[in-house]
Amino acid sequence: AVPPAGPAPRGCPCGSRRRVALRSPQVACKAASAVLVKTLRFVQNVPCFQELPLEEQLLLVRSCWAPLLLLGLAQDRVHLETVESAEPSMLQRILTARQQGEQGEQPPPRPPAPAPGRPHHGPHPPSAGEIQAIKGFLAKCWSLDISTKEYAYLKGTVLFNPDLPGLQCTQYIEGLQREAQQALNEHVRLIHRGDEARFAKLNVVLSLLRSINANVVAELFFRPIIGAVNMDDMLLEMLCAKL
């Protein structure tokens, strides 16, 4: 007799933790760098942004450069092609260590752990799950066929974030974010009169952005070309330059 079918096995989460890399790093990194320059140029051309003190400008850009970049990648239709990296899996490391122990070999020394409270800035290839989150965000944008004006209003909403600690012009920035959202809502109501849910769908795009870690974006697109250079330093230099 055939035994009754049990519950379907759950998918192993190991796949989402696999390490992946860009198939053509030079092409993708070059495209991302061009989008970053274009994005910062857009930011600098926003009159309300220019009226803020330089310290406030830098604080805003440091906090939102990654979501702004991802919006730019979506707007420019930059596709990501990835491959699994050659980093050994956890199982491979266990088996290798066990084999070395049986043969009397000493395993290679482990790198020192980062100091408590300090972020580790060493190379950390993004996992398949992290890359999939970025690809999912891009696919969502493309499925909505977001217009140039809608992208601009979304960028304004992301840029003017009044909830950042250390801001002095909180009320002014909050007002700018509200204006960006109102402009987006009015544009949607005017252009997409038959799609009452579009404004909510565009705000889902913003929620997807908030789930993507800026460190993952930096490792994926800029670590291969800037190495150990700090992203904050690079942003400060680009922001103060005439792009």
- Give me the residue spans of the domains in the chain: 18-87+125-241
Supply the pLDDT for residue 36. Answer: 94
- Burial per residue of 180-218, b for 16 or more beta-carbon CB atoms within 10 angstroms, e otherwise: bbebbeebbeeebeeeeebbeebeebeebbeebebbbbb
DSSP 8-state assignment for residue 21: E
Residue 197 corresponds to which tokens in the numbers above? Answer: 């849910």
For tokens 């005439």, name the residue: 242
Model confidence, pTM: 0.75
Q: What region does 70 belong to: left with phi over 0, alpha with psi -120 to 50, or beta? A: alpha
Residues in the chain, pLDDT under 50 = 2-9, 11-14, 108-122, 243
DSSP 8-state assignment for residue 51: T
Cα–Cα distance between 239 and 243 in angstroms, integer?
Answer: 8
Residue 150 makes CB contacts below 8 A (sequence gap 6+) with 184, 187, 188, 202
Supply the pLDDT for residue 224. Answer: 76
Helix (H, G, I), strand (E, B) or coil at 82: strand
Contact at 8 Å (CB) between 203 and 183? Answer: no
What is the dotted CATH code of the domain comprising 18-87+125-241?
A: 1.10.565.10
Helix (H, G, I), strand (E, B) or coil at 84: strand
Helices (H), the chain: 25-44, 47-50, 54-75, 90-102, 128-144, 148-159, 170-191, 198-210, 214-221, 223-226, 231-240
Helix (H, G, I), strand (E, B) or coil at 221: helix
Residue 139 corresponds to which tokens in the numbers above? Answer: 């696919």
Contact at 8 Å (CB) between 79 and 35? Answer: no
Supply the pLDDT for residue 118. Answer: 35
Supply the pLDDT for residue 114. Answer: 38
